[in-house]
Structure 1
């Protein structure tokens, strides 16, 4: 694939099993990856996405599905989302993998090869999952290589877990203290790398030596640097994205990951206070470029349920117009509010929210602009509008520039109206009349360039208000 991949790309997550079940209901028959409409793929490409993350592509077994369908706590959660729950709606967790081959429900193995080719033809790359910490109970390794697994104090194979949980009963824990297991997992990664363009590595921090030791009391050699290097010898452009928490993002970036989840930004946006968000966005440049910005994914609650409508829009502007990889989740654009468990292959019917849909249409149009994909980013100061007015502390502002096109993003990330001055960074605006055109609303303003440099652009906007201004100077 020769298409340019932006420095700050956008990714679209879709649950493969839910998507095909929905399309099957519309068509009245079972469908496979081969039958996902070309128009759907082309539309995602036209929206400016670089990546499709196809979650749930791999083979899962009957053992995991039985656990998913018999755990009473999980069943209560399913019924909260699907009151008319049926047995066939429970397909088992896609993270209880019993083999890195396409799940038979999605088609024959060749269907994945063809799906990737179809993506490439419209300029999209394919990301799939790697689940390094554990397998399904009926993975072939359980039978052929039981030494690949951790045993509990009773001598039984232990369930996969992290240091803070009691374990996931539909999984078995892999033992990275065994070098043979690390070698086998690296071989699996090489195999997968021939089927896609990147991997989302599930709970990647669990196989860091310090975390593995804290969880299991066992020593292991570092896994990620060697495994990533091994894959890249054959696939030099292959991309690794880590699901990671507990402030271990930088550690995994140093070990070779191209991108790491930015849960810290999500939590600060959810908290609704500007200063921690502003401080976070001032972090090291390389760290920012490798951060994955999101407001929801299959693990988090739906953004439309978490945030009020206006805060949702403000948070989206900050998350997705910042630098890094922009991660969107299917259903986010239509304002879905119900989170569907990954154990299910059917989602509830929900009406589209036309207001949030129109907002995301405008936001995605911004992300198609070269400046937001490959431009130069800089943070901007937000100064008091007058002495004794502290409301400027609720503002966050930054600028993008690329090949003469300039944009400023301003958000009042606070619940109350506020005022501030934002000095623009471009000295050549002096002596010009400057046209400010908002890309997310009909607002248009003409301002004196000298005044925009000092004291700056005056803003007086309501709580959660936002602008994405194109800045164009004309000779005065």
Structure 2
């Protein structure tokens, strides 16, 4: 009897071990499935990118206040969050306004309200205590990853703030004048200051600087699992540096690289995406009556021959510079705002949302002081939600390295009406817009059965059919 009991006990224990082993294996598999795979070309095809201004995003201006809203960004189709600089800001030569530094202000209480430029960095491997701790930042990254969203950091490789330890420990890293004095960044064509007096210009003729800067960038990938960088004034730093650092970082993990530039040479090996600055300025000019739909068509033909097939650009109606220095979307684009927002989602490339844009931001955010974006969902949020869903799900709007085709469609009012077709994998999207402030009648060389995506209505396009669009009216048509 005792022998039988021992046998039964052994069988029970073996079964329990097998059950535990199976449970552990299932848990391991679940963890692998839940972790976010490294960023890849397919993600870029259908992504919306969000620029997070931590300081101005909330009344608190903290990582935590932004992190709690990350799940909502999925509703807008966001797949990449670009976080503006999170590092400590130098006090020396700190900007108070465009022309004055804090040293020019005598009242100590008045000085306190000037927080300086995000881009005057005192320490590349620390976080600004005003935003929280490194642990708080890690929670931001982890929350984004849990929601299927990648995080890239704004990186300022061209210059540092005047409090950075390199100023005293490695003055040889910096550009110096004939007297051996470190200088702020200079215009290479004129030799005159850009006016960025709150920062000191780094000198990439010194290869020791390259190693130091690479180490700082690797820190965030290796210790905080970030997914890439947005490179401030990327063209002012040697392309070879960017190519080297990307190659070294990708020994750890694949990364997404965004250049604040439209220089096509940067895309060869270093960067995935650049800024569509020229396209943005043309949009502003059309909205203000200075250019026409025909100018946009000419621009699309130009970039088709300028860039390689796998190069792509970030499309935007606003960003932190445009908002603070050149005006809100409404100031620059007026009644054309929604039309050009829709255009940024439907042309090749990746659309950008800047903090507050989704909440109908109608003010210029202060650049050197604390400010706060609105948080009431108004007209723009549901529009972005629909556009983001279409961008994420419709192959005809893929805009990365394997983008859907773009074909201009002829119409009878080409100075006023913009019309084009995107196609891929059997999907088709047609965009039609009146790019003037007056009603326009026209005929379009397209026919078939479609759905008006924004309204959900069925629409039949007939050959030689005359149509009339109101001022700035647009349609996004998808094939049934």
Q: Same fold (TM over 0.5)?
A: yes
Name the SS for the 1:105 alignment partner: coil
The question of whether the paired residues in 2 share the 8 Å contact of 1:392 and 1:419 is answered with no
| Structure 1 position 55 matched with structure 2 position 72 | no
Shift in Å at residue 352 of structure 1?
6.0
1:200 is the counterpart of 2:222: no
Alignment of 1:160-309 (within 5 A): 160-163=185-188, 165-194=193-222, 195=224, 196-208=226-238, 222-235=240-253, 237-244=254-261, 249-272=263-286, 273-282=292-301, 283-284=303-304, 286=308, 289-300=311-322, 301-309=327-335
What secondary structure is seen at the aligned counterpart in 1 of 2:294?
helix
> Which one of the candidate residues 145, 156, 162 is aligned to 1:120?
145
Work out whether residues 8 and 326 of structure 1, in 8 Å CA contact, stay in contact via their aligned partners in 2: no
Distance in 2, matches of 1:255 and 1:157, equals 32
Cα distance in structure 2, aligned partners of 1:354 and 1:147:
52
**Mapping of residues 42-191 of structure 1, within 5 Å:** 42-64=71-93, 67-69=94-96, 73=100, 87-100=111-124, 101-163=126-188, 165-191=193-219
Contact in 1 for aligned 2:339/2:472 (Cα 8 Å): yes
C-alpha distance in 2, partners of 1:230/1:368? 31
Q: Which has the higher contact order (CA 8 A, sep 6+)?
A: 2
Match of 1:321 among 338, 343, 346: 346
- For the pair shown, the structure with the greater C-alpha radius of gyration is 2
> Structure 1 residues 354 and 115, CA, compared in 2 at 3 Å: closer, same or farther?
closer
Rate the CA distance shift 1:86–1:367 in 2: closer, same or farther, 3 A.
Answer: farther
Q: Which has the larger displacement, 323-332 or 399-408?
A: 399-408
| Structure 1 pair 225–403 and aligned structure 2 pair: CA distance change class (3 A) | closer
Of 2, 7, 11, the residue aligned with 2:49 is 11
Is contact 1:415–1:463 with CA below 8 Å preserved after alignment?
Answer: yes
Aligned position for 2:437: 415
TM-score normalised by structure 2 residue count: 0.78
Deviation at 1:144, TM superposition (A): 1.2
Per-residue CA deviations over 1:132-159 (Å, capped at 9, x if unaligned) read 1100101111121111011123321101
Offset, 1:207:
1.7
Aligned twin of 1:340 = 365
Find the aligned partners of 1:72 and 1:91 in 2 and give their Cα distance: 15
CA shift at 1:172, angstroms?
0.6
Partner SS for 1:59? coil
Cα separation, partners in 2 of 1:122 and 1:159, compared to 1, 3 Å = same
Deviation at 1:363, TM superposition (A): 2.9
Per-residue Cα deviation, 1:110-166 (whole angstroms, up to 9, x for no partner): 222222111100011101111011001011111211110111233211012444643
- Check the 8 A contact 2:361/2:374 in 1, yes or no: yes
- Mapped contact 1:69–1:92 kept (Cα < 8 A): yes
RMSD over aligned Cα, in angstroms?
2.8
Please state how far the C-alpha of 1:395 moved relative to its aligned partner: 2.1
In the alignment, structure 2 segments of 5+ residues that lack a partner are 1-35, 103-108, 287-291
| Count of aligned pairs between the two proteins | 414
2 CA distance for matches of 1:414 and 1:36?
38
**Corresponding residue SS for 1:314:** helix
